Amino acid sequence: MTLLEFSKKFPTEKSCRLHFKSVRDKQGVVCKKCNHTDHYWLQYKEQYQCKQCKFRTTLRSGTIMESSNMPFKKWYIAMMFMSATKKGFSSSEIQRQMKHKRYEPVWAMVHKLRKAMGKREDLYKLNDIVEFDEGHFEVETSKEKRSNLKRGKGSQRQKDVAVMAESTPLENPKTNKKSSHLRYVKMKVLEAKDADEINKTVRENIDEKSIILSDKATSYIDIARYVEAHITEKSTKETTSTTLKWVHIAIANAKRNFLGIYHKIKGKYLQNYLNEFVYKLNRRYFKEGIFDRLSVAMVCNYG
Ligand SMILES: [Zn+2]
């Protein structure tokens, strides 16, 4: 959605509330008390009432906005900024654009949206041919750790990220040249980086009928147990540009994207930044439709 379209469609708090309600009605309201899904809408209260047990649910309750005091309009502005461009915006830039006094609530809102993007992505698994490798992202250590180290400036360290890319092989019949087309990507922060964690990551993110291409890292030893086939190649410059081409392009683009927008990324929140990058990359052909999809993600509560 462009800025112009946004200002036409959502000029007021009420227009945002009405839109939110219409999206929520389509997705369905579940009663927290009895799990019933039929509700009346009490217009004067602006609340849902369960047809079975009469329990009332506010418009925000059970959604991403549940514990937020931010006006609907500000959530919508944040969504607009986060979906409007390929590149994205930092929380401080969004705060400046919406003229909100305090940084913290804007930051919390933006990170909830990033979390919701990740939850949407978790609904899907990668299929067919999947490239698997790791990327190493620079992050800042937390403040407590910094003061322990008695350093004036934040110390940098790296976090390892499992990067998975689903691609379709293409063959040019004229030249017989083989290439591939990128479909979807997943990026998951690794903590332990051992075989157990790699196996879990594969099981959670890749369909069991897939074929995985990777290098010969020792932690990949069991991958073949969870998919149709696991093809390994010794890691060389050649594999980086052929067999594992898309994971490396995705890693390079994510790093460039983060460097261009964010002042610093704390290790603890790296997954949220990756979520936004991946969510938009996987929806790159939707263009302006990303806003609508994001509004659907918003009516769910991901804790
Ligand atoms: Zn109920």
From ligand 1's centre to the CA of 36, what distance in Å? Answer: 5
Who's near 66: CB < 8 A, 6+ residues apart?
60, 301
Query: Rounded to an integer, what distance in angstroms lies between the CA atom of residue 268 and that of residue 41?
Result: 40
CATH number of 129-265: 3.30.420
Q: Tell me the chain's radius of gyration from C-alpha atoms.
A: 22
Question: Model's pTM, two decimal places?
Answer: 0.91
From ligand 1's centre to the CA of 211, what distance in Å? Answer: 46
| CB 109 within 8 Å of CB 68 | yes
Q: How much is the pLDDT for 154?
A: 56
Query: Rounded to an integer, what distance in angstroms lies between the CA atom of residue 167 and that of residue 130?
Result: 6
Local structure of 85: helix, strand or coil: coil
Q: Parallel, antiparallel, or unpaired for β 211-214 and 229-232?
A: parallel
Q: How far is CA 105 from CA 65, 69, 70, 200, in A?
A: 12, 9, 8, 34
Q: How much is the pLDDT for 155?
A: 66
Query: Rounded to an integer, what distance in angstroms lies between the CA atom of residue 110 and that of residue 95?
Result: 10
Residue 118 in tokens? 């990740």
Query: Rounded to an integer, what distance in angstroms lies between the CA atom of residue 33 and that of residue 48?
Result: 13
From ligand 1's centre to the CA of 253, what distance in Å? Answer: 47
Per-residue pLDDT of the chain in tens (303 residues, 90 and over written 9): 888 899 999 999 999 999 999 999 999 999 999 999 999 999 999 999 999 999 999 999 999 999 899 999 999 999 999 998 888 999 999 999 999 999 999 999 999 999 999 999 999 999 999 999 999 999 987 665 555 444 445 567 899 999 999 998 877 777 777 788 899 999 999 999 899 999 999 999 999 999 999 999 889 999 999 999 999 998 887 777 788 999 999 999 999 999 999 988 999 999 999 999 999 999 999 878 899 999 999 987 665
3-state secondary structure 95-129: HHHHCCCCHHHHHHHHHHHHHHHHHHHCCCCECCE
Helix axes 103-121, 290-298, angle to 10 degrees: 100
Who's near 273: CB < 8 A, 6+ residues apart?
114, 258, 262, 265
Residue recorded with tokens 């030893």: 221
From ligand 1's centre to the CA of 39, what distance in Å? Answer: 8
Residues by chain with Cβ below 5 Å of ion ligand 1: 31, 33-34, 36, 50, 52-53, 55
Query: Rounded to an integer, what distance in angstroms lies between the CA atom of residue 247 and that of residue 162?
Result: 10
Ranges in the chain annotated CATH 3.30.420: 129-265
Q: How much is the pLDDT for 145?
A: 54
Residues composing the chain: 303
From ligand 1's centre to the CA of 15, what distance in Å? Answer: 28
Query: Rounded to an integer, what distance in angstroms lies between the CA atom of residue 181 and that of residue 14?
Result: 43
Q: How much is the pLDDT for 150?
A: 46
From ligand 1's centre to the CA of 28, what distance in Å? Answer: 13
Q: How much is the pLDDT for 153?
A: 53
